[in-house]
A = this chain, B = another copy of it.
Amino acid sequence: MAGGGPELPHIVVVGGGFAGLSAVRALRRAPVRITVVDRRNHHLFQPLLYQVATAALNPADIAYPIRSVLRSQRNARTILARVLGLDLAGRKLRLADGELGFDGLLLATGATHSYFGNDGFEPWAPGLKTVEDALEIRRRVLSAFEAAERLPDDRDLAATLTFVVVGAGPTGVELAGALAEIGRLTVAKDFRRFDPKRVRVVLVEGGDRVLPVYSPALSASAAAQLQRLGVEVRTTAKVTNVDATGVWFGQEHLPARTVLWAAGVQASPLGTELGVQLDRAGRVPVAPDLSVLGLGGAGPPRVFVAGDLMSFVQDGKPLPGIAPVAIQSGRQAARNLLAALQGRPGKPFRYRDKGSLATIGRAAAVGQVGRLELRGYLAWWLWWMVHIAYLVGFRNRLVVMLGWAWQYFAFARGARLITGRAWEPQAAQAQGPAAPAGRS
């Protein structure tokens, strides 16, 4: 299974996300053989996934083959495989179709949303993490409008045109803002039988404000900008149940055909294979050098963790699961893993916060850069620039810019495709969601 010259130490990186890819790149001149293992063939630019879910971008605009990203890095190879488990003593990964030995291992398999133990919500409130998730959400959103057009009377119209987003972190805010724009701008021209003003978007947050990682002032600004877009913001609202009819807050019922879940954090299950104590979200506690804490074993550490999968406390707060943290930790973990394999001490990791931005909608966003607080058009413009700059793949940049320019000037959305069970607008309600082939 190993590529390159057999004499060089073999580093296996599991996960081709921001953390994994930045780790591999940090080792491009290192005297090692690197194998990247991912169960998908593409790196996914997660920060823009909500735009696929809301029909603004194509999946391929924000996904790029991992092996193409690493094309020019001769000491790295990519394999498409599913990791089932770890054999730390034997220094190998168990794959769905074989084994893969390693001298050093970097786990960067990330995290997803969490239903806080209520996994029964999932069929009625899908989350947004994979391309398949995004296409399923797109299918549901577009199908809801199609269903509204078909309703014989207005009885069910309110529920059919009500979209509930649970969780007011960056993803929830982005989804809610985009849904409001679809209702107000895109759908208005295309449907004949219902009043677009009937479209209702409700953003539900358990905490007392939206975007809680930002300052209270920016949270207030974000809430105001959301309301300007037509989003109803509901804070300190605890969702007790989700079913085919909508969302329940204790005894209160909010009828809604379409519910999206953007709350909670649940780390990739691979962490459990390490046999160490994980945090409440299933993340792996790491030492300052990002090696796995409490793994023991003789000699220097060989297993490191980076990105959303790691639990790293800095200045008394756990680092958030965002791209910059993943990129910086991936880079440092890779360097420290190399040092360990060469018998050198590693350096402690410290996250440098260059600022953060959250978009809300057209010309609406908030941002925190050092002490500077940005809001509205300027923040949105900066957000756009930053994301374009990070997008992997030149062509993708072009297409995304084109798509955005189009969307911005024409108020149109270019990818309003219902794939999957397009002719069954009720299917998601009647029989639970279509399981994307990817998950079946």
| Chain A interface (Cβ < 8 Å from any Cβ of B) | 1, 3, 39-42, 58-61, 63, 65, 67-68, 71, 77-82, 96-98, 131-132, 135, 142-143, 146, 149-150, 152, 189-193, 395-396, 398-399, 402-403, 406, 410, 412, 414-426, 434-438, 440
Contact = CB atoms under 8 A, between A and B. Distances in A.
A41 B437 contact: no
Given A3-B192, A60-B414, A80-B150, 19 more contacts: A41-B142, A41-B146, A41-B416, A41-B418, A58-B58, A59-B417, A59-B419, A65-B190, A67-B191, A68-B189, A68-B190, A77-B192, A79-B149, A82-B423, A395-B403, A399-B414, A419-B436, A420-B437, A422-B438
Contacts of A60: 58, 414-417
Contacts of A63: 417
10 contacts: A39-B422, A41-B417, A42-B422, A65-B416, A65-B417, A67-B191, A68-B190, A79-B150, A98-B150, A434-B437
B437 A414 contact: no
Nearest to A414: B395
A42 B79 CA distance: 36
B416 A438 contact: no
A71 B41 contact: no
Nearest to A72: B189
Contacts of A39: 422-423
Given A42-B418, A422-B40, A402 B398 contact: yes
B402 A150 contact: no
Contacts of A410: 395
Residue from A416, A421, A422 having most chain B Cβ neighbours under 10 A:
A422
A122 to B, nearest CB: 16
Contact of A402 (B42, B142, B399, B436): B399
B395 A421 contact: no
A288 to B, nearest CB: 33
Contacts of A436: 419-420, 437
A424 B40 CA distance: 9
B131 A416 contact: no
Given A190-B67, A434-B440, A418 B40 contact: yes
Contacts of A406: 395, 398
B395 A420 contact: no
A149 B35 CA distance: 12
